[in-house]
Chains A and B, each alone.
Chain A
Amino acid sequence: QKEVEQNSGPLSVPEGAIASLNCTYSDRGSQSFFWYRQYSGKSPELIMFIYSNGDKEDGRFTAQLNKASQYVSLLIRDSQPSDSATYLCAVTGYSGGYQKVTFGTGTKLQVIP
């Protein structure tokens, strides 16, 4: 079982719809959860992070965290073609006295005009 799992997609949604991206993780001790967006040929850029159970909203983006079920999701409302990218889930925590960060392999999102 991978430490952080994401459906590779592609996830296709029509413009204006809600895109729902999911991520599950195996380490119950995980501390923080980040969503990054990576356009093809570019480096990742942070969309948002969440530490506590529940929802966190930032503009058109909402992150949802459920530590009991060990999943974190990202909702994108009113999806735009410019949202077409690969979305990476990153989970941080501690291992052997060190801090660690583990990325999922990403979900490719396609927003169809």
Chain B
Amino acid sequence: KAGVTQTPRYLIKTRGQQVTLSCSPISGHRSVSWYQQTPGQGLQFLFEYFSETQRNKGNFPGRFSGRQFSNSRSEMNVSTLELGDSALYLCASSPQGEGIVTDTQYFGPGTRLTVL
């Protein structure tokens, strides 16, 4: 099976702009989670989608949003970009659909976002 794919792999934006990142899960996986990874804060959970509904969320401001489509593909949007949003954004999918408490996460290669 093909792994989790993310597009684009690299992105450069300026402050105040918005950005949309895309994630295609492993075939058959219905849960998609998003994470932000920075050198200072490490890997932080943004939110999880299952069956087109946001099922769980972390402690990020409302500028960070997402959605999931009927084919399980997911997008993440960040509005009004700030310099501190520069990070590696990772998407992960999981097969069981039971939630992040017990499911194994299979990570994609990530999108490197740089905000100037």
Q: Which residues of A contact B (CB under 8 A)?
A: 31-32, 34, 42-46, 49, 51, 88, 90, 92-94, 98-106
Query: How far apart are the CA atoms of A43 and B33 in the complex, in Å?
Result: 14
Decide if A101 touches B102 in the complex (CB within 8 Å).
no
Stretch binding the partner chain, chosen from B10-18, B51-59, B66-74, B77-85: B51-59
What number of A-B contacts does a CB cutoff of 8 Å give? 56
Question: Pick the contact of B107 from A31, A43, A93, A104 — CB < 8 Å?
Answer: A43
Contacts of B106 in A (CB 8 A): 46
Decide if B108 touches A32 in the complex (CB within 8 Å).
no
Interface residue count for B (Cβ, 8 Å)?
23
- Interface residues of A: mostly helix, strand, loop or mixed? strand
Decide if A106 touches B110 in the complex (CB within 8 Å).
no
Considering only residues 29-77 of chain B, those with a C-beta below 8 Å from chain A are 33, 41-45, 48, 55-58
Decide if B90 touches A43 in the complex (CB within 8 Å).
yes
Decide if B107 touches A105 in the complex (CB within 8 Å).
no
Q: Which 7 A-B pairs have the closest CB atoms?
A: A43-B107, A105-B42, A103-B43, A92-B101, A99-B56, A98-B56, A99-B101
Decide if A103 touches B90 in the complex (CB within 8 Å).
no
Question: Pick the contact of A94 from B44, B101, B109 — CB < 8 Å?
Answer: B101
Contacts of A51 in B (CB 8 A): 102
Contacts of B48 in A (CB 8 A): 99
Decide if A49 touches B104 in the complex (CB within 8 Å).
yes
Query: How far apart are the CA atoms of A51 and B42 in the complex, in Å?
Result: 23
Question: Pick the contact of A44 from B45, B99, B107 — CB < 8 Å?
Answer: B107
B100 at the interface (CB under 8 A from A): yes
Contacts of A105 in B (CB 8 A): 41-42
Please name the residue on chain A nearest to B55 by beta carbon.
Answer: A99
Q: Mark B84-116, 1 if CB is under 8 A from A, else 0.
A: 000000100000000111101111111000000
Decide if B105 touches A46 in the complex (CB within 8 Å).
yes
Chain A proximity of B96: nearest CB distance (Å):
12
Chain A proximity of B31: nearest CB distance (Å):
11
Given A43-B90, A43-B108: A88 in contact with B100 (beta carbons within 8 A):
no
Please name the residue on chain B nearest to A8 by beta carbon.
Answer: B42
Decide if A98 touches B108 in the complex (CB within 8 Å).
no
